[in-house]
C-alpha cells in the first residue's frame, strides 16, 4: 500500500520537519524514505551536520512509518527511545534516510533508520522505539 506523499509532506508545515527541510520521498507499509538538505541551518559550530538534526530526521521517518501502520485503527505513535551512531561527517548536499520496521507489536514498534550521504556513504544508523497509543 502506498500513501499520499503530498499530504504527508504538507503535514510538516510549521514544524521542525519543515524547518530542517525534510521531504518524504517514499511511504509504503513498513518503509519510509526522506531527504534533508545539509547547510548552515542544521550545522553545528564546526560546519558539520549536527547530530541532533540527523536524530530528528531519523525520528521523523520512524514516526511517519509507525503512524501509517496504525492510523487505520485510530491509533497514533509517539517516541519512547532513540539512539544514533554517527559514522561520518557531512558538510553539504542532501542526506537520505531510509527506515524500516523491525518489530510491529500492539503497543510498541521498533524502527531501524540508515542515513546516507549524496555519495551513498553511511552517515548515521539509528534505532527508534515508538509507543502505540489511542488517537
Q: Within 13 Å, how many C-alpha atoms sit on residue 108's CB side?
A: 9
Which among 26, 59, 112, 119 is annotated as catalytic?
Answer: 59
* Number of residues in the chain: 135
Q: Are 101 and 109 in contact (CB under 8 A)?
A: yes
Alpha-carbon distance of 90 to 30, in angstroms, equals 27
Residue identified by cell 558539520 is 48
Rounded CA gap, 44 and 27, in Å? Answer: 30
* Residues 70, 33: Cα–Cα separation, whole Å: 18
Residues paired with residue 84 on neighbouring β-strands, in sequence order: 126
81 an active-site residue?
Answer: no
List active site positions.
Answer: 59
Amino acid at each position: 500500500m502506498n500513501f499520499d506523499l503530498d499530504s504527508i509532506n504538507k503535514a510538516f508545515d510549521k514544524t521542525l520537519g519543515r524547518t530542517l527541510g525534510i521531504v518524504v520521498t517514499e511511504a509504503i507499509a513498513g518503509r519510509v524514505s526522506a531527504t534533508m538538505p545539509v547547510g548552515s541551518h542544521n550545522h553545528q559550530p564546526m560546519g558539520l551536520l549536527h547530530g541532533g538534526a540527523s536524530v530528528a530526521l531519523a525520528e521523523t521517518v520512524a514516526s511517519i512509518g509507525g503512524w501509517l501502520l496504525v492510523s487505520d485503527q485510530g491509533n497514533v505513535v509517539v517516541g519512547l527511545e532513540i539512539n544514533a551512531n554517527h559514522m561520518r561527517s557531512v558538510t553539504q548536499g542532501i542526506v537520505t534516510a531510509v527506515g524500516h520496521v523491525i518489530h510491529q507489536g500492539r503497543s510498541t514498534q521498533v524502527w531501524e533508520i540508515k542515513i546516507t550521504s549524496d555519495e551513498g556513504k553511511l552517515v548515521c544508523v539509528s534505532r527508534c522505539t515508538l509507543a502505540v497509543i489511542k488517537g
